[in-house]
A = this chain, B = another copy of it.
Amino acid sequence: MTTLVFGHKAPDTDSTGSPIIWAWYLNQIKGVEAKPVLLGEPNTEALFMLDHWKLNKPEIIADVADDQPCVIVDTNNPAELPANINGADVRAIIDHHKLVGGLETKGPIDIRIEPLACTATIMWKMIGDDLAQAPKAIKGAMLTCILSDTLEFRSPTTTQEDKAIAYALAEDLGVDIAEYAAAMFAAKSDVSAFSDAELLRMDSKEYAVAGTKFRVSVLETTAPDVVLDRKASIMETMTSVAAEDGVDQVLLFVVDILNEQATMLIPNDLTKSVAEKSFGATVEGDAVVLPGIMSRKKQIIPNLAV
C-alpha cells in the first residue's frame, strides 16, 4: 500500500514542501512507494513555491483509513492531524516541534525530532549524499521551506545549521536568496482574497494557559497594513471564530518580517492583560506593537500569561 506523507492541517510552506521532499526520497532512494498529500489548502507562499519549482499540488485528504501506512512531518500533535491518526499505521515522524504527548504508535518506529527551525533542514541531514540525485525542484522546495520557517534567517528559531544548509542549497541552485525570499514573502503577504475568519485560522495553534483556551494566530507579512487596515472587522470576527472553534479567545499577531516586530490586536480586557503580562507591553487603544517578536514557538507561546 502506498505510504502517505503529510504535515499539519492549514499547511504552510514547510508542511507542503517537506512531504514532497520526503516522498521523493522514499520513492527514488529507499524504494518505498510514497505519495505526498495535504490536510488542507496550502497558504499563498506554499502555492508560490509549487508554481516556481513546477511541483504538482498534492491532493488534499480528509482523513486516513485504518492501517494506512503514513509518515508524519512537521508536527507530532494529534490535534493537527487526521481524526483517525491513532488508527493509521504511522511509520515515521520527522519534526522540529516540542513533544506534545497524545500521539501513540503501535510499535517502535523511526522518530527524528531536532530543535532546528525547519523540517526540511532535518531531512537534508537525513538524506545526506543521496541529495545529489534530487532534481532541482526538490532542492528548491528545501530552500523555500528553510527561508520560510526562518523568515530569511530573521526568526530567533534560526540555527547555524538551517543557515548553512540554505546557503549551500542556494549556491547549488544559483538562487539569489534576498531576491527569492522577497518574492516568497510578497506571495505570503498577498492575503487580500481571504475573509477575516480565514485570516484568523490561516496559521493558528491552540494553547491553554491557566485554564483559558487560546487560538494563537500569526500572520507573517512584509505588508502589515494590508491586514491592519482591516483590524476593526477582524476583531469583530474573533468572537465568532472563538465560539465556533471552542476556545475562549483568538489572539492575532501580525508579524512585520522586514521591521522585525509584531502588532497584536487588543479587542478587549483579556487580550490587554495577555499583552501586558506576557510581553510587558504598555497598551493604549486596540493594537500594540511588540518589538522583536517574530516567533510563536520561541517567543509567544513560552511567555503566554493571562
Residues in B whose Cβ lies below 8 Å from that of A298: 107
Q: How far is the CA of A106 from the CA of B98 in the complex (A)?
A: 6
In the complex, residue of chain B having the shortest beta-carbon distance to the beta carbon of A298? B107
Q: How distant is A99 from chain B, measured CB to nearest CB, in Å?
A: 4
Kindly state whether residue A168 has any CB partner on chain B within 8 Å.
Answer: no
Are A97 and B102 in contact (CB-based, < 8 A)? Answer: no
Copies of this chain in the oligomer: 2
Map CB proximity to B onto A92-122 as digits: 1 under 8 Å, 0 otherwise.
0101111111111111111111111000000
Are A104 and B106 in contact (CB-based, < 8 A)? Answer: no
Q: How far is the CA of A238 from the CA of B138 in the complex (A)?
A: 58
Q: How distant is A187 from chain B, measured CB to nearest CB, in Å?
A: 27
Known: A102-B101, A104-B101. A111 touches B112 (CB 8 A): yes
- A-B contact list, 15 entries, CB within 8 Å: A93-B99, A97-B108, A98-B104, A98-B106, A99-B103, A99-B104, A101-B101, A101-B102, A101-B104, A107-B115, A107-B297, A108-B114, A110-B113, A111-B113, A112-B112
Map CB proximity to B onto A167-199 as digits: 1 under 8 Å, 0 otherwise.
000000000000000000000000000000000
